[in-house]
Chain A
Amino acid sequence: MAPTDNELVVRCLQRDEVAWQLLVERHSRRVLNIAYQFTGRRDEAEELGQEVFLRVFRSLHQFDLTTHFVPWLVRVSRNLCIDEHRSRAREKAALVADEVDPERTQDTGNSPYRNLEEKELEQRVRRGLAELGDELRTTLELRDLQGLSYSEIAEVLNLAVGTVKSRIHRGRLELAILLSKSREERGGNRRIAESMEEEPES
């Protein structure tokens, strides 16, 4: 039976290097994706991910073993990412950044068309999330992008589970409306573009 995160933390505190390796291996993807949400670029996310693990490593003795590791890890990761993106304005700028991630085409192995679709989707969702209030966006990201359970989110944000559920529901509703509008606009723009392309032939 695989050891729990808390068991691994205890072993890490006893200077067990294998336990630390296991912990890093187990949570690398989660940490990287939190960083990726903030940076929008894989190279920067990787760098930030390393910084996160360095901070986790240094503050491992502060972890309360009576609580759960994942919410603590997410909180540490998010705090560091927020520190890196000092102001909210900068963070939002990153969320809606249109710059191309140079590593995207290298590591997905998708066709250029598929990559374009993915990029469009990502930008659409990022824009929608950026338009939400901080509270709703954070809760929604933790649930639907990070895959945390309601109780884990409650632990990360220090809220009641009921409040978390309510925020997620409201966040999804608002995002649904925003994305629906964006989809309509995109559809309209596409129709205009198609009609403009057809005009010279007719």
Chain B
Amino acid sequence: MTHENFQALLGDYAEGILPVGQMRAFSNHLTSCPGCAALADAYTSALADLHSFPRMEVPEGFMLRVLEKTTLRPTPWEVFWAWLGLPRFRLTPASAGAVLSMLLLFLAGTSDGKRVAKEINMATYQTYSNALRLYYRSSDLKETATAMGKKIPGRLEGSMDWLRQRLEKQPQSAPRPAQPPGNQSSSIIPEGGAA
């Protein structure tokens, strides 16, 4: 066995995993070569030193301190979304739309629903033409409301004030036509109106 071969097997020898077949040749070289024997001695000592290098034990309370810094508790929002994401609640967009429509229909059937629906309708009335239509029926908004049997919401009242002011500023090129008292429910916009 050469010195190089000996050195190559030194690691396995020091770790005690040198195959039996190579052990005899290795031992022969070890006893016959003082240089290699010294190296083997130094090698095993170094390995022993490394293995007996002081190790640090886990200090008391270390884990607790780590866990305090790293918590896995989900936030309330995460809990909520996770709850929504559960299979029993999970909906396809189409079925979610259907559920929403059914909910709206249900709401429309209740007294609150009627109120909500009315609010939505009244909002659509707040257009210029609707306001004008009402104005031509009667300049007095309360009168119009009484005739219609409806309460005019505040927002519409504001629109009417604005419209009234605007019409009064304009020249009276087209006089406001008189409406028959019994025909107030029909929505008539006279030809050649101010608007």
- A residues lining the B interface (CB < 8 Å): 12, 15-17, 20-21, 24-25, 28-29, 32-33, 36, 42, 45-46, 49-50, 53-54, 57, 104, 107, 118, 121-122, 124-125, 128, 140, 144-145, 165, 168-169, 172-173, 175-177, 179-180, 183
Contacts and interface: CB of A to CB of B under 8 A. Distances in A.
B39 A176 contact: yes
9 contacts: A24-B63, A33-B55, A42-B59, A49-B62, A104-B54, A140-B50, A144-B53, A145-B50, A173-B43
Contacts of B67: 20-21, 24
A142 B110 CA distance: 74
Interface of B: 7-8, 10-11, 14, 38-39, 42-43, 45-47, 49-59, 62-63, 65-67, 69-74
B148 to A, nearest CB: 60
Contacts of A177: 42
A17 B74 CA distance: 10
B22 to A, nearest CB: 16
Contact of A15 (B55, B58, B63, B74): B74
Query: Which are the 5 A-B pairs with shortest beta-carbon distances?
Result: A176-B46, A144-B50, A176-B42, A180-B42, A57-B70
Given A144-B50, A172-B14, A172-B50, 4 more contacts: A42-B59, A57-B70, A122-B53, A175-B50
A20 B54 contact: no
Contact of A180 (B7, B45, B47, B54): B45
Nearest to B11: A169
A139 to B, nearest CB: 12
